[in-house]
C-alpha cells in the first residue's frame, strides 16, 4: 500500500469520512507524465472491472445509486465533473479535475455525478464484477439500510 494514500477497508465502510481523494503516483520525464494505479497498493482492492463515461450531455446527472459491496476509484481522465457522496447522514461534494487524483468510495454510499464538462471522460476502477442485485437504486431503501447499520 502506498503510504501517502493508505485507504482501509472493513468496519467503517459506509461512513463518509472513508471517502477521500487519493494522489496517484506520477512518473514525470521529458516525454510527459505516466500515472499508475495498482490494485492492492494504490487502492485496497483488486481491480475486477473498469468502465468509463464520456459524452455526457450538458446538465445531465448520472449515478443516483449506492453499492452494497463495491469499492471504487473514480478518476477524471479529461475535463471535470463532481461527485456527491452521501452515507445516509452526511453529504460531501468532490470536484474531480485531474487524471492523477482519484476519489476512493467505499460501499454503502449513495453517489450522484453532476456538472460534467462537455469534454469530461471519467474512469471507474472497481472491486466487483457487474451485478445489478448489488446496487441500491431506491434512495429510501438505501437510507433505511444505511441508517440501520449504525
Ligand atoms: C457507477 C456509475 C458512475 C453494464 O452492462 N456493465 C457495467 O459494468 C456497467 C457499469 C453498466 N452496464 C450497463 C447497465 C445499463 O444498461 O450499462 C447501462 C448503464 O449503466 P447504469 O445505468 O448503471 O449507469 P450509471 O451512470 O447510473 O452508473 C454507472 C455504474 O453502474 C455505477 O457503478 O458508479 O456508472
Q: Is the CB of 134 under 6 A from ligand 1?
A: no
- pLDDT recorded at residue 150: 78
Q: Is the CB of 124 under 6 A from ligand 1?
A: yes
**What is the 30 CA–ligand 1 centroid distance (Å)?**
37
CA-based torsion, 132, 83, 138, 14: positive or negative? positive
DSSP 17: G
Question: Which strand (E) or helix (H) includes residue 85?
Answer: strand 81-86
Q: Please tell me the residue having the least CA distance from ligand 1 atom 30.
A: 63
60-107 residue pLDDT tens: 999 999 999 999 999 999 999 999 999 999 999 999 999 999 999 999
Mean pLDDT along residues 31-50: 97
- pLDDT recorded at residue 103: 98
| Residues 6 or more apart in contact with residue 98 via CB below 8 angstroms | 76
Mean pLDDT along residues 124-150: 95
- pLDDT recorded at residue 124: 98
Q: Which of 27, 54, 65, 78 is catalytic?
A: 65
- pLDDT recorded at residue 57: 97
- pLDDT recorded at residue 13: 63
100-130 residue pLDDT tens: 999 999 999 999 999 999 999 999 999 999 9
4-37 residue pLDDT tens: 444 444 445 689 999 999 999 999 999 999 999 9
Let me know if 65 is a catalytic residue.
yes
Strands, DSSP E only, in 101-141? 101-105, 110-114, 121-126, 135-136
**What is the 53 CA–ligand 1 centroid distance (Å)?**
9
Amino acid at each position: 500500500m502506498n503510504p501517502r494514500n493508505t485507504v482501509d477497508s472493513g468496519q467503517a465502510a459506509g461512513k463518509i469520512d472513508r471517502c477521500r481523494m487519493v494522489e496517484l503516483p506520477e512518473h514525470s520525464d521529458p516525454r510527459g507524465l505516466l500515472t499508475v494505479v495498482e490494485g492492492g497498493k494504490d487502492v485496497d482492492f483488486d481491480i475486477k472491472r473498469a468502465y468509463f463515461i464520456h459524452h455526457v450531455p450538458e446538465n445531465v446527472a448520472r449515478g443516483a445509486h449506492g453499492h452494497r459491496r463495491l469499492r471504487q476509484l473514480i478518476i477524471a481522465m479529461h475535463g471535470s465533473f463532481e461527485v456527491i457522496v452521501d452515507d445516509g447522514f452526511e453529504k460531501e461534494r468532490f470536484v474531480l479535475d485531474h487524471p492523477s487524483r482519484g476519489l476512493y468510495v467505499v460501499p454503502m454510499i449513495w453517489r450522484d455525478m453532476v456538472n460534467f464538462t462537455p469534454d469530461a471522460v471519467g474512469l471507474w476502477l472497481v472491486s466487483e464484477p457487474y451485478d445489478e442485485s448489488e446496487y441500491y437504486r431506491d434512495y429510501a431503501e438505501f437510507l433505511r439500510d444505511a441508517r440501520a447499520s449504525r
